[in-house]
């Protein structure tokens, strides 16, 4: 009978229930392995058996965290959002007052910079290539978009109060802003066009100024 080789993950991990301080590391490893599997095989052909084997854990352990492949994929998207945290760019200026144009510009540049990174591009290409067969991918992407819209809407409302310029519908403005960024990114991704940092920053600057110039109508 062939003896199964011990994976690197199993060799490093002690038997029994993991210590609380190890849980985050195990989670990160699992999601990293799953992301690689999705990238290599596509969503439909991705194998839970291969994921758990490579990660060095049982299917029971995986399913206790993520009952389905869809939940596992959503966890990857959520981790990317939390790790990159583009909304951290929505900070106040040196006077302690939020600056709408600076904040939106910083957010857009940070979001596009990260979205053009290898892992993000791979995940988005996977979504667009297989969404017609797996509607759950669209739902996961929509949830990610909603998080961004809520964060931006909160910042717009904060700026409206600080500047004493009421905003009738911050969520609508945030949605326009997010989809404006998304449209530029999709065009760059699908055309596989190499975009320099200078080109990106120039476009972001023009786009944000155009949006903010209509602020009185918000």
Whether residue 177 lies inside any domain: the answer is yes
Cβ(136)–Cβ(52) under 8 Å? no
* CA-wise closest residue to 34 among 22, 52, 9, 8: 52
Q: How far is CA 20 from the centre of its chain?
A: 26
Whether residue 100 lies inside any domain: the answer is yes
Domain shared by 23 and 108, yes or no? no
Whether residue 2 lies inside any domain: the answer is no
Domain shared by 207 and 139, yes or no? yes
Domain shared by 43 and 93, yes or no? no
Domain shared by 53 and 83, yes or no? no
DSSP reduced 3-state for 98: strand
* CA-wise closest residue to 120 among 128, 56, 25: 128
Whether residue 39 lies inside any domain: the answer is yes
Domain shared by 151 and 118, yes or no? yes
Whether residue 213 lies inside any domain: the answer is yes
Domain shared by 159 and 182, yes or no? yes
Q: What is the pLDDT along the chain (218 residues), one digit of tens a residue?
A: 343 343 444 444 444 555 545 566 778 888 889 988 988 888 888 999 999 999 888 888 888 889 988 888 888 888 777 776 666 677 656 667 889 999 999 999 988 888 777 667 777 778 877 888 888 888 888 888 888 899 899 999 999 999 999 999 999 999 999 999 989 988 887 787 788 999 999 999 999 999 999 999 99
Domain shared by 19 and 123, yes or no? no
Q: For residues 119 and 116, what is the distance between their CA atoms, to the nearest angstrom?
A: 8
Whether residue 143 lies inside any domain: the answer is yes
Whether residue 43 lies inside any domain: the answer is yes
The burial of 94, by beta-carbon neighbours within 10 Å (0-12 exposed, 13-18 middle, 19 or more buried), is given as exposed
Domain shared by 132 and 205, yes or no? yes
What CATH number did the domain enclosing 180 receive? 1.10.357.10
What CATH number did the domain enclosing 35 receive? 1.10.10.60
Q: Which residues pair with 98 in a beta bridge?
A: 92
Domain count, the chain: 2
Domain shared by 124 and 99, yes or no? yes
pLDDT score, position 84: 66
* DSSP-assigned states of every residue in 181-215: HHHHHHHHHHHT----HHHHHHHHHHHHHHHHTTG
Domain shared by 27 and 97, yes or no? no
Residues making up the chain, counted from first to last: 218
Whether residue 147 lies inside any domain: the answer is yes
Q: How far is CA 114 from the centre of its chain?
A: 9
* CA-wise closest residue to 151 among 122, 108, 189: 108
Structural domain span for residue 52:
8-67
Residue 11 CB neighbour total at 10 angstroms: 9
pLDDT score, position 138: 81
Given 67, 97, 114, which residue is the final one in a domain?
67
Q: For residues 113 and 184, what is the distance between their CA atoms, to the nearest angstrom?
A: 12
């Amino acid at each position: 009978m062939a003896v199964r080789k011990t994976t690197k993950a199993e060799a490093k991990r002690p038997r029994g229930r993991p210590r609380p301080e190890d849980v985050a590391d195990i989670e990160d490893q699992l999601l990293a392995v799953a992301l690689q599997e999705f990238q290599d095989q596509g969503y439909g052909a991705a194998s839970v058996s291969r994921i758990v084997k490579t990660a060095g854990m049982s299917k029971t352990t995986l399913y206790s965290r993520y009952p389905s492949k869809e939940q596992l994929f959503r966890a990857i998207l959520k981790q990317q959002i939390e790790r990159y945290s583009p909304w951290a760019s929505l900070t106040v200026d040196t006077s302690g007052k939020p600056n709408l144009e600076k904040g939106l510009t910083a957010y857009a540049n940070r979001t596009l910079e990260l979205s053009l990174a290898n892992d993000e591009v791979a995940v988005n290409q996977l979504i667009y290539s297989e969404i017609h067969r797996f509607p759950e991918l669209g739902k996961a992407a929509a949830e990610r978009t909603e998080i961004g819209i809520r964060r931006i809407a909160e910042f717009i409302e904060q700026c409206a109060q600080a500047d004493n310029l009421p905003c009738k519908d911050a969520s609508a403005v945030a949605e326009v802003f997010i989809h404006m960024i998304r449209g530029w990114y999709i065009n760059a991704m699908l055309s596989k066009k190499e975009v320099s940092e200078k080109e990106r920053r120039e476009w972001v600057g023009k786009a944000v100024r155009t949006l903010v110039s209509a602020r009185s109508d918000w």
